[in-house]
Chains A and B, each alone.
Chain A
Amino acid sequence: MNVIPSAARNLLFATGVLFVPLALAAGSAEKGKTVYVKHGCWQCHGYMGQGGIAGKKLAPEPMPLEAMSAFVRNTNGAMPPYQEAILSDADLADIHAWLQSLPKARDYKQIPLLNP
């Protein structure tokens, strides 16, 4: 699921943000889990990035790191932005690596409680 609202995505493309090659190194999933909690991502997106009524789903299958970074830095929607002063590129890359490491969700059709 694409978590960048279409209007925001258009804006990012228009301003060239998504085309800027970001110097984001591959992160550490292990560190990412800690950083995800420390910076409060869990508050709206859940401890597993599953999302809910307060925040969109982040995992499994997160958006590309560059897109996530552009969104996190520039969002003007319901989610508050995280500037580099409070969340470094390295931390962001670690978070992304952790989100990427999360297993695929179970098929709801195979969960009896979701098919009462």
Chain B
Amino acid sequence: MTRKDSAPKAGRRKFLTGFVAAGAATAVTPPAALAAEAAPPAGPPRAPSALPPSALVAAAETQTPRELARVPGIPGSDFMVDVIKTLDIRYCPSNCASSYRAIHESLINYGGNRMPEFLSCTHEESAVGMAHGYFKVAGKPLMTLCHGTVGLQHASMGIYNAWCDRVPVIVVGGNDMDAAHRPPGVPTFHSAQDINALVRDFTKWDDTPVSLQHFAQSFVRAYKIAMTPPYGPVMISLDAGLQQEPMKEHGGEKPYIPRYVPTAPPQGDSGAVKEAARLLAAAHSPLIIADRAARTPNGVALLVQLAELLQARVIDQQGRMNFPRTHYLIAPPSAVGSGDVILGLELSDFWGTVNSHTDNGANGGIGADASRIKPGTRLIGISSVELNTKANYQDFQRFQVVDVPMAGDAEATLPALIEAVKSAISNQQKAAIAKRGEAARKAHADNKARTRAAAALAWDASPVSTARLCMETYAAVKDLDWSLVASEGNVSNWPNRLWPIEKHHQWLGRSGGYGVGYGAPASVGAALANRDLGRFSVAIQSDGDLMYAPGVLWTAVKHRIPLLSVMHNNRAWHQETMHVQRLSNFRNRVANLGGDLGPVGTSIMNPDIEYHKLAESMGWWAKGPIKDPAQLGPALKEAVAVVKSGQPALLNVWTQPR
């Protein structure tokens, strides 16, 4: 693909006069200071080399161009900023990169660094993770800029998490398409025919605009697609030439900016909704299971309404905060076997919900499968993801036969389903339904007592038990408008079992793709959104997660994002610790610990990382390592006061493994 007018008569290619490659035949005169270094050897011109860039070429990437020709007219990237400003994009967390330098300059100078505000990130994966976490609080997407090759490679795992977690992120990658004119050396290493191909398997949509008008349409379309359920990340390749060249008329007219009109989310088919209501109304023990069902606080209210109408217990798989943990109809995962009609709402794994897989080495090492539901149980599914499944990555999980499957957004379908259920319930059924509620209240009370008794075990242990960690933290924030922005690393799910999570923003779900390294940046992104809403953000931060890209700690300080980060430091990638131990046992071998506590390659110890010092070095208030549970409460009190003053604070707590 090339621009309509690729002849370098004016503008961009003269703008790039300072970039010259050693040995390349070029009509451009190098600046005097570089000329000596650039002088070709005697004899015929050298053929292009596959060797790494010379000092001169590297200098083109690392030094400031000395003589920049002025670009006449309005820079294309200024128009791009005009387009972006029509959408409600508040921030642009990014790691700077030359392939998008023109739009970078336009954003901060022409655009005044507002809507969006550029946030300095130290890693592209952190930038995407911040956008991921931000959306789950604000309900609005962010955009991020990156190099289309090396930057996008860094960003890709974060994008995969966003894809699996159904979160919109607008990723814009800089690229220089015109091979005949782009600077050789580093800028060419940083170019590709199709940068979007890298993430096409796990983005909803992508485009490569070839004109400013095309960009305007693509950007608004990207926003619209990302924000139509099922939400998801989108990708735009942004040509360096298009950014840097002056605006041109398009078909005799100046480019226009299309108006963004949100698309109504898809709803389940009315006939299928009616059939689902009939089954639910007639059920003896209806069960609702929700994963990413509540996109908004209204989704929670709707789910409560449906559950109470049916007196149906609800298993919340916690992809979002779907159902209040304090409600008597909340049920643990083990309740799945109790239903005779099961309504699955935006389940990421319907098969895994109604079946179990035991990793016990049976069947030649594959493991054993078993059903978790009674024979004859009827299954109803409402999921928007059915509209957007791709073939390569396996996030669609194993195939499950569902009796009434609906391709539609669960939250958007719930009002119609509620009305249909109201119509389907007969007067005779009402007494039986009320009786179900009594049984659910008792089951809820019993479960609550069992859970607290379990939490009391090892309460005074050192390292600190995960139950103690969570409840000390809760005690420190409970009187604030708190939001648990991340809980990565597995603390035996105590927050969901013990904290009175009732509001949509109090639990944000997890990474989606289980790409470790989500917790730290998502916490900072979510805390940014909470800051703007006046809320207090708290994260339970695991050690392994933090070490993927700890530079996001600096971003939090740089942009004054208050966050209380309480570490679940079990000094391991503990899931892998258990995996390797398991395989050792299956093979009847003693696990090689190599001087650590867990099998070789799974521990983060010897030496122990002093996360509090790491955080302090980037401007955080921090304390640790805390090993004695009695010290945790007072330290939390101090940390909360710091966060309330507007600064981030971290406590490095040594914990039990799970």
Contacts and interface: CB of A to CB of B under 8 A. Distances in A.
Given A52-B658, A105-B456, A81 B585 contact: yes
Interface stretch (A10-18, A24-32, A35-43): A35-43
Contacts of B582: 80
A48 B597 CA distance: 15
A47 to B, nearest CB: 6
A67 B262 CA distance: 62
B556 to A, nearest CB: 28
B359 interface: yes
Contact of B463 (A38, A47, A83, A116): A47
A79 to B, nearest CB: 8
Contacts of A38: 593
Chain B at the A interface: SS class: loop
Given A43-B657, A48-B461, A53-B493, A82 B585 contact: yes
A23 interface: no
Contacts, number: 116
Contacts of A53: 490, 492-493, 658
B656 A46 contact: yes
Q: Which of B452, B458, B582 has the most CB of A within 10 A?
A: B458
Nearest to B356: A78
B586 A37 contact: no
Contact of A40 (B359, B456, B591): B591
B64 interface: no
Identify whether the interface residues of A are mostly helix, strand, loop, or mixed: loop
Chain A interface extent, by class: 35 or more
B642 to A, nearest CB: 22
A31 B284 CA distance: 54
Contacts of A75: 360
B599 to A, nearest CB: 8
B588 A114 contact: no
Interface string B474-493: 11001000000000001011
Interface in A53-98: 53-55, 57, 75-78, 80-83, 85-86
Nearest to B359: A78
B458 A114 contact: no
Nearest to B499: A116
Contacts of B362: 76
A105 B593 CA distance: 31
Nearest to B593: A38
Given A47-B657, A53-B492, 19 more contacts: A40-B599, A47-B458, A47-B463, A48-B461, A51-B457, A52-B466, A52-B492, A52-B656, A54-B492, A57-B454, A78-B359, A86-B584, A86-B585, A86-B589, A108-B453, A111-B456, A113-B474, A114-B456, A116-B500
